[in-house]
Amino acid sequence: MFELLGAGLADVAQAKYLVPLVLGTLAGIVGGALPGVTITMTIIVVLPFTFGLDPLQGLSAMTGVYVGGSAGGLVTAVLLGIPGTPSAIATTFDGHPMARNGEPGRAVWTGVWASVFGGLLGGVFLIGTTGPLARIALEFGPWEFFSLFVLALSMVAGLVEASILKGLLAGALGLVVTVLGNDPVMGRERLTLGISWLEGGIPFLPVLIGVFAFSQIMGEIERPRGAAARDAALRVSKLAVNQLRVIWEILSRPFLLLWSSLIGVLIGVLPAIGGSAASVMAYDQAKKFSRHPERFGKGAPEGIVASEASNNANVGGSLVTIMAFGIPGDAVTAVMLGALTIHGIQSGPLFISQNPQLAYGMFAAYLIAHLVMVVILAFGVRWMVRATTVPRSALYPVVLVLCVVGAYALGNSVATVYVLLVFGVLGYLMVKFGFPLAPFILGVILGDQIEINLIRALMTDSDLWLFLTRPISGGLLAASVLSFAAAIWQHRRMQNRARAAEGDTDF
Amino acid sequence: MLSRDGWGGLAVAAASLLLFGLTLGLKDNPMVPIGPGFYPRIVLGLTAALGITLLVLDLLRSRRRRLSGDAKSSASVQPDHLAVAIHFGVFGLYVVALPYLGFRIATVLYVAAANALLEPPRGLKGWARVAALALLTTIAAYVVFERYLLVLLPRGRWTGF
């Protein structure tokens, strides 16, 4: 393992791979710093640039975006009080007050170094667990894979806070997308509705790009002017700090760092929950464990450390599931999964054994991206703040043109651009009707695999009980039912609390 | 009166049942015991059931609301749906025009239109900004993708450009 990692580090240190990694990290930091532009949108924009690159170059660039984006959001969160990405929301709670108290440099660099340490701890988890988990997955038959995918889908649907029913329905709608066009087992045409571009099925990347890019951009466009007015930027003249002191401030709280990173990693492993939940949860835990919870919200460094360490460790966790099981942990890894498919590489349990150079190259890119991120931020923090002044009127048309190029380049066909438009409208409507996008996308990604494994299992043995009696498959289905029951219980508890609160005030 | 949930559930249930009906026309392959309609029927049946559940729950909720005399308070900030519809329209025109006008002409027109709609230009300077953004975006995208990344962008059937 260490030999392969060493070889991966040596590979990625070459200019051929380092340049895309640096550019990807830079794009991630800038995209992360821009309020209203998420890491998902940034990686969607970067995707078409990777088509002409070799797989490791493309994945290095994307890993850079992921790592850079997770840290980029903290700059605006701290200096402007506006989280650049949802995963930096918890950083705002203490980062901005600390900056306002006259210590913007300390606030920014505490966040940056916490991101680095959290990210590296996530990296240790990623490198240490991907191989063993992939080996376990190699023992899986179609029954186990079917149950694993059902578990992933039910977890995501159940974790939706607003409505479990809508979460389930969104996941089921994602599965419907995969039944249109063709049958993945025999390749026979079905349910094309007379539309010629549906004949080959619907490719998932234009769906993902359309759903996420449009729901976000149109969501911003519908906000009345002035609603997004920003606070005046803080003066950023005092960003220079004693770096060793900041590093010591973080390392002198080893429990906080480890616990926050662990929360980040575990939430990253669970599909489609994301860095925002990880950072808020870690922040909440840090406050609960603190001897001085009253300091939180007023510029406590612990709050920044917890939030940033967990959201960067989250990246490592998300990469584990895509590399070991082929299940994307979030929208960003879903795009990476698509990039792998474009290069003819199948992610999943065989990925690491069949493509060790690529897999360890990705690990190396992940580790090096953290150092690149520090260097970029050391020189470019001031520019990041200026980048936030790019007008939306210029940014959104350019982003949508890049989405069109990305969709078109997937098959050199305008048909994929139609898919982009149709699912752009659908994504926007889903958000307006309160349907969550994460289960929908996971349904689109896993639909074919669920069908293939179900049919394979039934063709091997038509006994349906095997799904329950095979120990791993049965265990996974039981976990699926349990997670769903837990989600219902939690949902009811929240509803009862809300009702009680209404009763208290309703006098 | 149905709320958004009810309409959403109704639309999903109707579409699922329609597709479910279409799966009944799919012929099984004699060589394979499980036909191409087997899995779609499961998925569409599930979707229809969930859509109907959403609709029924919404009807029950609205009945409860009516009985208790509750009225929903209006939102404080009204979203600008017209702006969204216009932007979708402009983007739709761009997508439709792509194969006829070609990437370069269609993109210049789209970026200019979208930019002008998002920030209406004032005076000559404003229009110069719109034109500059449209031209720069198109040239940069064309050079990077077609020249360096070897993505052959669409040529126009009408323009040949």
What ipTM does the predicted assembly reach? 0.92
Is pLDDT of A455 > 70? Answer: yes
Distance CA A50, CA A47 (A): 5
Beta carbons of A313 and A262 less than 8 angstroms apart:
yes
Averaged pLDDT for residues B100-113: 96
Least confident among A4-18, A220-234, A267-281, A304-318: A220-234
Enter the DSSP assignment of A462: -
For residues A133 and A235, the model is more confident at A133
HEC secondary structure over A69-85: HHHHHHHHHHHCCCCCC
Is pLDDT of A462 > 60? Answer: yes
CA angle in degrees (0–180, nearest 5) for B91-B97-B102: 115
A174 CB near a chain B CB, below 8 Å?
A: no
pLDDT of residue A231: 46
Chain B interface mutation, best of A342, A408, A418, highest count of B Cβ atoms under 10 Å? A408
Q: What is the pLDDT of residues A4-28, one digit of tens each?
A: 788 888 888 888 889 999 999 999 8
Chain B interface mutation, best of A46, A218, A223, highest count of B Cβ atoms under 10 Å? A218
Averaged pLDDT for residues A457-465: 89
pLDDT of residue A391: 85
Residue B51: closest CA among A476, A448, A166: A166
Which of B:87-126 have CB within 8 Å of A? 87-88, 91-92, 94-95, 98-99, 107, 110-111, 114-115, 118-119
Is pLDDT of A240 > 80? Answer: no
Averaged pLDDT for residues A484-492: 81
Minimum distance, in Å, between the CA of residue B22 and any CA atom of chain A: 7
Distance CA A115, CA A112 (A): 5
pLDDT of residue A347: 79
Scored b (16 or more CB within 10 A) or e, A486-495 reads ebeeebeeee
pLDDT of residue A47: 85
B83 contacts in A (CB within 8 Å)? 221-222
Q: How many residues does chain B have?
A: 161
A405 contacts in B (CB within 8 Å)? 141, 145, 151, 153
Beta carbons of A407 and B98 less than 8 angstroms apart:
no
Beta carbons of A472 and B43 less than 8 angstroms apart:
no
In one-letter notation, the amino acid at residue A217 is: I
For residues A49 and A424, the model is more confident at A424
Residue A461: closest CA among A143, A23, A127: A143
Which of B:27-46 have CB within 8 Å of A? 29, 32-34, 36-40, 43-44, 46
A395 CB near a chain B CB, below 8 Å?
A: no
Give the closest of B53, B99, B114 to A165, CB-based. Answer: B53
For residues B95 and A126, the model is more confident at B95
Averaged pLDDT for residues A215-233: 67
CB pair distance less than 8 Å for A393 and B98:
no
A201 pLDDT band, cuts 50/70/90, is confident
A179 contacts in B (CB within 8 Å)? 19, 39-40, 43-44
Distance CA A336, CA A326 (A): 11
pLDDT of residue A36: 66
In one-letter notation, the amino acid at residue A228 is: A
Is pLDDT of A143 > 50? Answer: yes
Q: What is the maximum span of chain B, computed from C-alpha positions, in angstroms?
A: 71
pLDDT of residue B17: 96
B146 CB near a chain A CB, below 8 Å?
A: no
Averaged pLDDT for residues A329-340: 79
Distance CA A208, CA A204 (A): 6
CB pair distance less than 8 Å for A52 and B133:
no
Is pLDDT of A501 > 80? Answer: no
Between chain A and chain B, the number of residue pairs with CB atoms below 8 A apart is 166
pLDDT of residue A279: 81
Residue B49: closest CA among B17, B4, B18: B17
pLDDT of residue A502: 63
Which residues make Cβ contacts (< 8 Å) with residue A186, sequence separation at least 6?
Answer: B29, B32, B36
A432 CB near a chain B CB, below 8 Å?
A: yes
Averaged pLDDT for residues A153-179: 84
Is pLDDT of A128 > 90? Answer: no
Averaged pLDDT for residues B34-47: 91
Which residues make Cβ contacts (< 8 Å) with residue A469, sequence separation at least 6?
Answer: none
B40 contacts in A (CB within 8 Å)? 179, 190-191
Is pLDDT of B116 > 90? Answer: yes
Handedness of CA A492, A494, A500, A502 (dihedral sign): negative
HEC secondary structure over A422-473: HHHHHHHHHHHCCCCHHHHHHHHHHHHHHHHHHHHHHHHCCCCCHHHHCHHH
CA angle in degrees (0–180, nearest 5) for A342-A44-A426: 100
Distance CA B44, CA A177 (A): 10
CB pair distance less than 8 Å for B40 and A417:
no
Residue A251: closest CA among A305, A292, A297: A305
CB pair distance less than 8 Å for B137 and A166:
no
Beta carbons of A341 and A350 less than 8 angstroms apart:
no
B51 contacts in A (CB within 8 Å)? 169
Distance CA B37, CA B21 (A): 10
Cα–Cα distance list, A486 to A474, A490, A500 (Å)? 18, 6, 21
CB pair distance less than 8 Å for B98 and A223:
no
By CB neighbour count within 10 A (0-12 exposed, 13-18 middle, 19+ buried), where does A301 fall? buried
CB pair distance less than 8 Å for A224 and B149:
no
Is pLDDT of A159 > 80? Answer: no
Is pLDDT of A364 > 80? Answer: yes
Is pLDDT of A406 > 60? Answer: yes
CB pair distance less than 8 Å for B144 and A218:
no
Beta carbons of A133 and A324 less than 8 angstroms apart:
yes
Percent of chain B with pLDDT over 90: 65
pTM for this model (two decimals): 0.82
Residue of chain B minimizing CA distance to A457: B34
Give the closest of A398, A417, A454 to B137, CB-based. Answer: A398
What token pair was written down for A100? 């306002």
CB pair distance less than 8 Å for B22 and A412:
no
Is pLDDT of A232 > 50? Answer: no
CB pair distance less than 8 Å for B32 and A51:
no
pLDDT of residue A161: 60
Q: What is the mean pLDDT of chain B?
A: 89
Give the closest of A163, A172, A400 to B43, CB-based. Answer: A172
Kind and range of the H or E run holding A292: none
Residue of chain A minimizing CA distance to B47: A172
CB pair distance less than 8 Å for A168 and B50:
yes
For residues A175 and A493, the model is more confident at A175
pLDDT of residue A500: 76
B82 CB near a chain A CB, below 8 Å?
A: no
Handedness of CA B50, B52, B53, B54 (dihedral sign): positive
Phi-psi region of A348 (alpha: psi -120 to 50; beta: other; left: phi over 0): left
A421 CB near a chain B CB, below 8 Å?
A: yes
Q: What is the maximum span of chain A, computed from C-alpha positions, in angstroms?
A: 70
Q: What is the mean pLDDT of chain A?
A: 83
Match 């659908």 to its residue by tokens.
Answer: A426
Residue of chain B minimizing CA distance to A414: B99
Is pLDDT of B75 > 60? Answer: no
DSSP string, A136-201: HHHT--HHHHHHHHHHHHHHHHHT-SS-HHHHHHHHHHHHHHHHSEE-TTT--EE--TT-GGGTT-
A258 CB near a chain B CB, below 8 Å?
A: no
CB pair distance less than 8 Å for B36 and A396:
no
CB pair distance less than 8 Å for A218 and B32:
no
CB pair distance less than 8 Å for B84 and A222:
yes
Least confident among A115-119, A145-149, B70-74: B70-74
Q: What is the pLDDT of residues B117-154, one digit of tens each?
A: 999 999 999 999 999 999 999 999 999 888 877 788 99
Residue of chain A minimizing CA distance to B110: A397
Enter the DSSP assignment of A388: T
Enter the DSSP assignment of A413: S
Which residues make Cβ contacts (< 8 Å) with residue A74, sequence separation at least 6?
Answer: A84, A88, A91, A95, A108, A111, A112, A115, A304, A308
Distance CA B57, CA B61 (A): 6
Is pLDDT of B71 > 60? Answer: no
For residues B69 and B3, the model is more confident at B3
CB pair distance less than 8 Å for B88 and A218:
yes
CB pair distance less than 8 Å for A172 and B47:
yes
B159 CB near a chain A CB, below 8 Å?
A: no
A165 CB near a chain B CB, below 8 Å?
A: yes
